Amino acid sequence: MRAVVQRVSKASVEVEGRVLARIERGLVVLLAIAKDDAQADIDYMVDKITNLRIFEREGKFDLSVKDVGGEILLISQFTLYGDTKKGRRPSFTDAAPPIVAKELYEIALKKFGDAIQTKGGEFQAHMSVNIVNDGPVTIIIDSKRNL
């Protein structure tokens, strides 16, 4: 599982001009699910991201999204597994097939929601994600490199 985590002052996600979800201070998590991901990857990501100290106190990254009473906007984004080593078109062979990815995304959405206020996008929809990155602060996390 791979995530791009952005600290935001606000963010929203739209499908066909309709706002699905909106958050204020918190994190936008762009989440990609690999073909070999499992429950352990979800558990790792939920724990790591909800407790990641990337909010400032006295000029230092010392607080988590939980500590600041923030929210998470979780967006499925298989393109994080785009492999550009060969040719000019990315290959997505490492990404989970849609039926598997959807199930794991929905489990992740619930698990994040159990830990902190979490909203999500629409799986496999063409989404417009509006992000006001705060800092900017952007962190990349890969469960396979850390498990």
For 23-61, the pLDDT digits (tens) are 999 999 999 999 999 999 999 999 999 999 999 999 999
Q: Catalytic site residues?
A: 77-79
Reported as a single tens digit per residue, the pLDDT across 71-104 is 999 999 999 999 999 999 999 999 999 999 999 9
Task: Give the predicted TM-score (pTM) of the model.
Answer: 0.95
Number of independent structural domains in the chain:
1
Residue 43: both structure tokens together = 């558990």
What band does 145 get if pLDDT is binned at 50, 70 and 90? confident
The whole domain housing 52 covers 2-146
- For residue 103, give both structure tokens: 């199930």
- DSSP letter assigned to residue 143: H
CATH number for the domain including 46?
Answer: 3.50.80.10
3-state secondary structure of 36: coil
| CB contact set of 105 (below 8 Å; sequence gap of 6+) | 31, 33, 74, 76, 120, 123
Give the Å distances, CA to CA, from 2 to 31, 32, 45, 87, 133.
6, 5, 9, 23, 19
